[in-house]
Structures are given as structure tokens and as C-alpha cells.
A = this chain, B = another copy of it.
Amino acid sequence: MVRSRVVLVADLVGTAVFAIEGAGVAMRAGLDLLGVLVLSFIVALGGGILRDLLIGATPPSALRDWRYPVLAFVAGLITFLLHAQMDAIPPGLMTVLDAAGLAVFAVAGAEKAVEFDISPLSAVLMGAITGCGGGVIRDLLLTRVPMVLNADIYATAALLGAAAVVAGRRFGYPPAPAAMAGFALCFGLRLVAVHYGWHLPRVA
């Protein structure tokens, strides 16, 4: 009871944060109001929609429940209208909120995916896709190589958080502590990586 309310609030906060970020990127790329709203929708909900298509959970939950698109559009519209004030949000706060949104989405995505007929490895991938997929579609629409393939520890944090959830489920742990462990792992690793400027290796 308490837990489902915590999960709902976390999910809505993550959706709003990602929508605000999508709107900001769209405005900086010179898109018009429609483009801003489309990017709010896609950054907030694209990862979950992609996951639902892949696991066969169609129509995706973001299209069945009107509250998620409305929240994304409203967050995008407010960002558009108040863009001067939005610039005043400290970047550090957005980084923390973004890391929280990533962790919420990765955990929730893995939790949903393990209920479907896919391998545990794929359930971990679905968690990462839930967290990162919206940003990948955003980058494709703006004709940029997806940031996540190229820059610091982002998808990696989502993968580890999702892996904690899937491993917890496999080894019979109760869902709530497994979800909290996954959230802490993803959120913590992401913030530590930003703080210390950690990157994955690449070939020179």
C-alpha cells in the first residue's frame, strides 16, 4: 500500500524530470512548440514504450493510461513557457534528478520485464532500455550519435540497477528490498561517476 504509492510518485517524478529535460534539449536545438512537446513525450515515455513493444506488452502502458502523456506534455509546455526561469535550475540539481529518474525507470522496467517470457539477461537489457531508450530516440531525432554509446557511466548504471532487481527475483528475495538495492546501485554509481568523471574504456 505504502510501497505502491511510493512507486507511483517516483514514476511520476521521473516522467516529469525526463520531460523537462527533453523540452530543454528541443528548445536548444531550435525546434518549434510541437517539436518541444514531441521530445518531452519521447524522452519521458519512449523508453517504456520501446520496452513494452519488445516484450510484447501492447498497447504500451503509456498509451493506455492517459496520465503519463498528459504529465509529459504539461511538463514540456511549462518548460517552453517558462524557459527563462528553467535556466535558473542549478545543473547539479538536474543531474541528481536525472540520476533518480534513470534509477526509477531501470528498476521499474526490469520489474515489469521479468514477468514476460524473456531470458533474465534480456530482462536486464529491458531495464536499461526503459531508462535510456527515450534519450536514444531523442538523439536519433536530432541526428546525434546517442550520448549513451559514447559518454561516461549512464547505461552501465542502469544495467547494474536492473541486474540487481533481476538477480533478487531469481534468488527469491522479496521485491521491495531488491528494488531499493537496484535503485541505490544505479543512482549511486551514476552520481559517483559524474563526480569523479569516470568513463568506460575505449580503443584509442
Chain A residues within 8 Å of B, Cβ to Cβ = 26-27, 29-36, 38-39, 49, 53-56, 58-60, 63-66, 69-70, 80, 83, 116-122, 125-126, 136, 140-146, 148-151, 155-156, 199-203
Contacts and interface: CB of A to CB of B under 8 A. Distances in A.
A69 B34 contact: no
10 contacts: A31-B149, A31-B150, A31-B202, A32-B149, A32-B151, A32-B201, A54-B58, A55-B63, A59-B122, A65-B119
A120 B66 contact: yes
Contacts of A140: 140-141, 143
Nearest to A124: B69
Given A34-B155, A38-B149, A54-B53, A83 B203 contact: yes
The 10 closest A-B pairs by CB, nearest first: A56-B58, A35-B149, A66-B119, A63-B122, A32-B200, A32-B202, A63-B118, A33-B200, A27-B203, A59-B118
Contacts of A53: 53-54, 58
Nearest to A202: B32
A33 B201 contact: yes
Contact of A202 (B33, B69, B148, B202): B33
Contacts of A202: 27, 30-33, 35-36
